[in-house]
Structure 1
């Protein structure tokens, strides 16, 4: 069983969308969760994130989770939305360093390892982030399965 954890800041936009996208692909032998470095426990995904997931027929039912040692230890692979998330996790959980990557870094993107943060933005910005995440997750699946 491969366990993937997506991490962003508040666990209401990018990481819940990434979690829902990967879960939607129904890959046998893969579990997925998401968490936020500064998440308030139990918040719903943002309205625009839910709208974009609905528009793309991606089932979701999200409540935010604060990143803790339990989530870090659960994961085989931790994929962050930004370099600052990656470095924060590596500093707080030094035992996790070898399994923490930005999503873009993991998929081989050569520059700018940060996924666009749509927080507070328009529905169009959330759609752009969703499309970026969907493409990156497809690449990540290919790497995981190879």
Structure 2
């Protein structure tokens, strides 16, 4: 593949990502949690094994202090709680509350029409491609 073709695809991926973020911002603005707050809820809801602030920061690609501030904001809104981590009492486990689950479900419902525009067969292919891109970019950023 030539460089121009690759850069063109990267640009398309960027535009799609940017537009998706704008759509998500529109859907979550009434909930007052912001895009990163929403992504933190998604991270905790979809990957319950990720429980510490450090694990969340690594998964989201954010600095720990930034994640700490997000956690505090979401705790004030009663969407998250901190509990002592049973495997290491020096750490805190971050858990989503029932209110957080309800908000997550509400926002997911609002986003469903957007994702129904992609046929199920294409969605599987899309997921596979995203996983491939993610794995490749992780490999190169780790070097």
TM class by shorter-chain length?
A: under 0.3
**Structure label with greater radius of gyration:** 2
Q: Going by fraction, where is strand more abundant, 1 or 2? A: 1
Q: Going by fraction, where is helix more abundant, 1 or 2? A: 2
Report the TM-score when normalising by structure 1.
0.27
Report the TM-score when normalising by structure 2.
0.27
